[in-house]
Amino acid sequence: MKRSLQRAGLGLALGMGALAAPQFAGDAAAQACTRKIGAVLPISVDWGRPIAETAKFVVEQVNEAGGVQGCQIDMVLRDDQTDPKVGVDAAKALVDIDQVPVLLGSVSSGVSMPILTSVTVPGKVMQMSCCSSSSAFTKLAEEGKTDGLWFRTFATSGVQAAVGAMVARDKGYKSVAVLYKNDDWGQDIGRIVAANLEKLGIKVTGLVAINDAQPSFRAEVTEALSGAPEAVYLALYPTEGTAVVREWLSLGGTQNMILANSLKSDDFRNNVGLEYLANASGTDTASPRTESAAAFVTRYQEKFGSQPNGPGLANSYDAAMIALLAMEAAGKDAKGPEIAAAVAKVTDPAGTPVTADAAGFAQAKTILAGGGTVLYQGATGNVKFDKNGDVSAPAVIWGFTAEGTKEERYIPLEDVDAFIASVQ
C-alpha cells in the first residue's frame, strides 16, 4: 500500500467529532456530553478514505439531529493499513483506552476477523462492518462464537462469486484462471467462484494465491497462464492487483477479465491503463432500485460533489447509521451487548419507516422514546439482518470509463438468489 502516506500518519487516531456539523439551535443537552464510537478503516489507501468519509458524514447528520441520547458523537478513526496486526492494535486502543461500545470496521475480512475474535467479542463491543464478505463470519456466528455482536451491511462473498460465474457464462468463456488474495476474503471468494464455474461446466485452469508485498508475481502469473485460460477472475486489492495484471499482460495473458469489487479503483484503472481494461467486467453488490437508495445518491452528491462510485460507500453509510440508531434505541450509556440487541428495534419490518438522514434520525428518536420501533430505509434499501448478522443484496456488473465506472447491468435480488440456488 502507499507507505509514504502511512508514514505520514494519516488517520492513525483522528477524532471526527470536532468536524461535526453545527447542532440545531438551542440544543444545549447535546452540547453537555459526548459519546465515542470507534472506526478501524483503511484510510491510507485510495478506496478506503471515501468509506471513512461516508461514515463521518453520517455522524455529522446524527449530531445535527441532536446526537444520541442527547450526546454528540465523536467517531475516533484509526487506520488499519489493510494489515491484520495494525487493525487489531488499533481496535484494542479504541476498546481499552477510548472504551467505545461500538466499532465500525473493517473493510477487509482478513482484518475484521481477528478484531472480532480477539478484541470486540472478548471486550463485549458491537462490531458493524460495511464491507467484510467472507462466509467464515457466518460459520462463526452459527457456532455461537460472535455472541450476537457481529453485523455487516455487505452481502457475503457468495453474491459476488455467483455474479462472477454468471459473467463468465454469459460471455461464453470455456476456461477461466482464478487469482485471489491470500487472506480470509480472497480464499473464500476464490473457492466459491471456482466451484460455481465448474458447476456451470467452465474449466478452472488454475486457482492461484497471491501474497501481497512481493517484489514480483511472475511465478504466480506463469502458473495461472500455464492452462491457457480464455479469461481470468481477479479477487485482489488495487496494489497487488495492478502488479499482477501488468505481469499478466506482459506475459501474453488475455484482456478478458472478471473483477471483484475490490478493484473498483481509480488507482487500479490509471496504473493498469484504461486501454487494457476494455474487456474487463467488474462485479459488486448493489442497492435496490428504491426511493431511499436514490435519496442517498442525491445526498452524497450534495455533500461530496461526485457520484458514490467507490466500493462500499452505501454500505458504510448504512453501517454507521444503523449502529447509531441502535445506540439511541438501547438507551443512555448502553454497552455493546445492549446496543447489539437493539439493532432489531431499528430494522423492524413492522416498525415506522424512517429516512436515512438527520430528519429521519430525529423522527426515530421520538418514536423510540415512546416505546416504538422503526424500519430504517437506507442507502441499500430496507436493511434486514438474519440471525447471523448477514444481509442479502442485488448485484451489478460494471465497467471502467475515463471518468470512473459505469453500471452495465443490474441483477435483482430474486435473480441473484435463483442463480445461487441453481449452482448449489
* Cα 364 to Cα 347: distance, rounded to the nearest angstrom: 11
Say if residue 113 is in the same domain as residue 176. Answer: no
The model's pTM: 0.79
pLDDT-wise least confident of 4-13, 36-45, 61-70, 365-374: 4-13
Residue-range definition of the domain harbouring residue 129: 34-154+291-382
Rounded (to 5) percent helix, strand, coil in the chain: 45, 20, 35
Whether residues 44 and 134 share a domain: the answer is yes
Our count of domains for the chain comes to 2
> Which residue type occupies 215?
P
12 found inside a domain: no
For 55-98, write each residue's pLDDT tens digit.
999 999 999 999 999 999 999 999 999 999 999 999 999 999 99
My answer on whether 322 and 213 are in the same domain is no
Q: Give the CATH number, domain containing residue 365.
A: 3.40.50.2300
Q: Check if the beta carbon of residue 152 is closer than 8 Å to that of residue 132.
A: yes
CB environment 190-223: b (16+ within 10 A), e (fewer): bbbbbebbeebebebbbbbebebeeeebeebbeb
The whole-number average pLDDT for the span 129-136 is 94
Q: Are residues 53 and 79 in the same domain?
A: yes
Q: In this predicted structure, what is the pLDDT of residue 244?
A: 98
Task: Tell me: cis bond preceding 226? Omega within 30 of 0 counts.
Answer: no
141 and 215 assigned to the same domain: no
- 26: pLDDT strictly greater than 80: no
pLDDT score of 31:
53
Amino acid at the residue 31: Q
* 3-class DSSP state of 156: coil
Indicate whether 117 and 45 sit together in one domain.
yes
Q: Is residue 6 part of a domain?
A: no
pLDDT at 18 over 80: no
- The neighbouring-strand residues paired with 353 are 375
Q: Is the pLDDT of residue 314 over 50?
A: yes
The DSSP symbol for 351 reads S
57 and 46 belong to one structural domain: yes
85 and 104 co-located in one domain? yes
135 in any annotated domain? yes
CB of 221 within 8 A of CB of 253? Answer: yes
List Cα–Cα distances, 382 to 95, 392, 393, in angstroms.
30, 11, 10
- Joined together, the cell numbers standing for residue 117 give 475474535
